[in-house]
Amino acid sequence: MRFLFYMFLFLVISPAIGQQKLVRSKILAVECDEALNTKRLLTRITHEEIKKASRILEFTTVASCCVDFNITSHLENKLVHLKLEETGEACDCRCGYRFKVELMETLAPDIKFQLNNKVLEKKELQYLPYEKRYFIFENDTTGFDDENGLRQGLVVFKRKNGLLKQYYRDGKLLKYELTDASGNVVAKGTDMDELLDLQKN
């Protein structure tokens, strides 16, 4: 009798295990951002907004150029699976896209997401990290290239009759200084073309 009881429970409960539930979803906005590095761009959530009966997700990913998109989603075991499909004829290129999607369902605050079978979550890094590269002058670390490949701080180059100092922030040249053998500044500026000309000499 007990065996029959457990068999009955199993038959009742088992269909619910791993059961999928359709989640209505729609694309609110999509932008192909040509400034994004498609070779290193991470698929990640950039912004998330929890509403009473919906969830807004903004995320980046890489896809074909010149196409439109359809999105479908379903919920299974506290994981929302989003499927993004390209439609139309693609161009021979790849683009970094910024998506804004609405999931029209009341979802638990700790729900997890996947996009085309890839984990979709918030990450600080925008790109696959580069290995850090440090710049050293006279045994002191003066600057470095960060995880995003952006140059930070001071880079010093020795020249025949002095030094060339370059100051960077987030990969952008802030200024340069050219000094003579005595340490006197003989030239300075902020123009990258001028700097390139100096480096040739």
Cα–Cα dist 117/70, whole Å:
16
Read off the pLDDT of residues 33-88 as tens digits, 9 standing for 90 and up. 988 999 999 999 999 999 889 999 999 999 999 999 999 999 999 999 999 999 99
Read off the pLDDT of residues 157-174 as tens digits, 9 standing for 90 and up. 998 889 999 999 999 999
Domain boundaries, the chain: 20-120, 133-200
